[in-house]
Chain A
Amino acid sequence: MPKVTIDGVMIEVPEGTTILQAARMIGERNKADRHVVPPAMCYYTNLKTSGGYCRSCLVKVSKGSDRDPRPMPKPVASCRTNVMDGMEVQNTTSPELLDARKGVVEFLLINHPLDCPICDQAGECHLQDLSYENGTEASRYEFERRTFVPIDIGDTIKLHMTRCILCYRCVKVADQIARWACAWGDQPRRCERDQHLHPERGG
């Protein structure tokens, strides 16, 4: 079983475990080591091929493995990278990584309306937590934000694309768990979502 070290804490995990899962195992094993767990927005354990989009779980791999000890040249998405035996990962111990993560949080929020006072999710919102824990106090973005008219996509769901951070989790839930031709599951409607994404480009 591969051994991986995250921020100096070692754990032995089964083959095929991702760095994020390994970090979560460390956090569960000992509450004092919870700081090694990177944040994750678009990753959801029960979905296949989820993750890799939001980049908030980026970590630095300072040693690839025992067999190939070279560090990885770029930060990697911990939710989509499998651990190797002898891998050494830096999360909170790397200042440049924390800086990069700060950038990711800022990017996620530049087109978010920040209308938390009137949003139902406020208070139990992962994006709020992420911003509080890893972001900056103010945004440097001062241009107009993308906005969309909310669309009803059924009796019970209303889609607010203005607040969407494009984690693709709803697409994957519809494809893999609901198995129901819900809003974004089928191709033509995907194109519609893309139109909402880039209205200035005409889709």
Chain B
Amino acid sequence: MSRKLLFEHIATPGIRGLEGYRANGGYRSVEKALRTMSPEAVLEEVKKSGLRGRGGAGFPTGLKWSFLAKPEGVPRYLVVNADESEPGTFKDRYLMERIPHMLIEGMITSSFAMGAHTSYIYIRGEYFYVARIIEQAIAEARAAGWLGKNILGSGFDHEIHVQVGAGAYICGEETALLESLEGKRGNPRIKPPFPAVMGLYNCPTVVNNVETIAAVVPIVNDGGEEYAKIGIGKSAGTKLISAGGNVKRPGVYEIDLGITCDEFINSDEYCGGVEGRAFKAVVPGGSSVPIIPYELFLKTATGESRLMTYESLADGGFATGTMMGSGGFYAYNDAQCIVRSTWNHARFYSHESCGQCSPCREGTGWMEKILHRLEHGEGRSEDIDLLWDVQRKIEGNTICPLGDAAAWPVASAIRHFRDEFEYHIRFPQKVKDPKHFEKEPFARNPKFATA
């Protein structure tokens, strides 16, 4: 049974309102930080906790905050990235819907540590109703004196603004988010300079994920050392995983980092096993991370059982491993077609590419067209190698990570499921039916089950 730090009171009635949240120990971290701690002490606790960014990259949060430039007379900003657009990921939405005050509490405490007097929540356009929930929570918090001038008589002022995006995936990339927040087209900036030096309105800025900021609350309440006790090694604390696909119990789960992958996917406490005949493949961290066969998800290439940690999921590199990503977990059973799913991903990235730099703008569209041809029974034998070459030339050559995110799912699908691609070329008549593998599950060549 995993500990619940973020979701401890998620099912308590009335937790969405300020009264219910306060009755269950809400805003304790703000009281503790503002009354008894210095900003440096809060930063120290976050560093000690080993908290890593929960948005996908897994960068240590304390370190990110310590990079924040502090020139005299220039404001600093905290921007919360609630532009959760990764296919498969819906953990932040659940958190903001159910317990919005936790995010606000985390933002006040984090801003105190950074010395930021204004912070922004950038919410995805499709989450307009969540923005309303957050706005209401902010109004409640302001009326109760948790926001505004001189909070708790400590002399610390803070204001939070909500900005709704227009639904572009690329605005989840931190520099594109800042551009969009400034009112421009959401094109990623060329780094350096990094946002910690020159971010929003050319001021030092920290951009953090919703879950990261919410995790600051238990860290300040119980101390960083207590938080670091959960998890293994550099993967400390708990993580929200939004599980979907062909599992019996889809939903958002809070797990201790370090439970085994087998426990997560098969135990009744979490996903509850397969819906259908058998698992074929797993994407553990949202659509951008490499897809891996079920056998490799349970056990690494060296035969050890895989754990739900940043390091263990990445074990074996891209050849046999994958990534933790943002926690958008989904599993495929044997009735699903990997080529179809890869095509679907490629279509998404082609649609969401901002068009700024050439490899991503042209390459994603090209991949989508090749995959469309393969999936619809018009593939040619050279298509697989062509696809491999195109993704290889996108990866690493673009301004922002969207190019990599578009290339990895294609690369991993070819690496692990090449036989399925070959099947599509060999039996074009069979794959013209979109439900081809539901009628006749694909018998995998065991040669491709590992490496």
Contact = CB atoms under 8 A, between A and B. Distances in A.
B10 interface: no
Contact of B357 (A53, A73, A74, A110): A53
Contacts of A55: 357-359, 397-398
A75 B362 CA distance: 19
A54 B358 contact: yes
A60 B188 CA distance: 22
Contact of A77 (B185, B190, B386, B394): B190
Interface in A113-162: 140-141, 143
Given A52-B190, A100-B393, A107 B355 contact: no
B358 A165 contact: yes
Interface string A66-82: 00000001110100100
A141 B397 CA distance: 19
B171 to A, nearest CB: 15
Nearest to B359: A107
A107 B363 contact: yes
Interface stretch (A2-10, A19-27, A87-95, A194-202): A194-202
A104 B185 contact: no
Interface string B390-407: 101110111100000000
A197 B358 contact: no
B366 interface: yes
B369 interface: yes
Classify chain A's interface size: 20 to 34
Contacts of A80: 190
A85 B297 CA distance: 45
Contact of B369 (A53, A75, A107, A143): A143
A190 interface: yes
A108 interface: yes
Contacts of B351: 201
Most A CB contacts (10 A, CB to CB) among B358, B369, B397 go to: B358
Interface in A44-65: 52-56, 58
A4 B393 CA distance: 27
A166 interface: yes
Most B CB contacts (10 A, CB to CB) among A58, A80, A104, A107 go to: A107
A86 interface: no
Contact of B399 (A52, A110, A194): A52
A107 to B, nearest CB: 4
A155 B20 CA distance: 67
B361 interface: yes
Contacts of B398: 55
Interface in B371-411: 386, 389-390, 392-394, 396-399
A58 B397 contact: yes
A41 B359 CA distance: 14
B356 interface: yes
Contacts of A56: 358
Interface residues of B, number: 23
Contacts of B393: 99-100, 102-104, 106-107
B355 A104 contact: no
A111 interface: yes
Contact of A75 (B190, B363, B389, B397): B397
Given A110-B366, A111-B362, A143-B369, A104 B397 contact: yes
Given A80-B190, A110-B362, A143-B369, A53 B397 contact: no
Most B CB contacts (10 A, CB to CB) among A73, A99, A102, A143 go to: A143
Given A77-B190, A166-B361, A53 B366 contact: no
Contacts of B185: 190, 194
Contacts of B399: 52-53, 77
Contacts of B389: 103
A143 B363 CA distance: 13
B386 A104 contact: no
B357 A54 contact: yes
A141 B351 CA distance: 19
A75 B355 contact: no
Nearest to B396: A74
Given A52-B399, A55-B397, A74-B397, A108 B358 contact: yes
Contact of A53 (B356, B362, B392, B394): B356
B359 A166 contact: no
A110 B368 CA distance: 14
Contacts of A111: 362
B358 A141 contact: no
A203 B218 CA distance: 44
Contacts of A74: 396-397
Contacts of B190: 52, 77, 80
Given A111-B362, A166-B361, A190-B185, A140 B396 contact: no
Given A52-B399, A75-B397, A77-B190, A104 B359 contact: yes
Contacts of A197: 355
Most B CB contacts (10 A, CB to CB) among A55, A99, A111 go to: A55
A74 B393 CA distance: 12
Given A80-B190, A107-B363, A166 B397 contact: no
Interface of A: 52-56, 58, 73-75, 77, 80, 99-100, 102-104, 106-108, 110-111, 140-141, 143, 165-166, 190, 194, 197-198, 201
Interface of B: 185, 190, 351, 355-359, 361-363, 366, 369, 386, 389-390, 392-394, 396-399
17 contacts: A54-B358, A73-B396, A77-B399, A80-B190, A103-B359, A103-B394, A104-B358, A104-B393, A106-B393, A107-B366, A110-B362, A141-B366, A143-B369, A166-B355, A166-B361, A194-B355, A197-B355
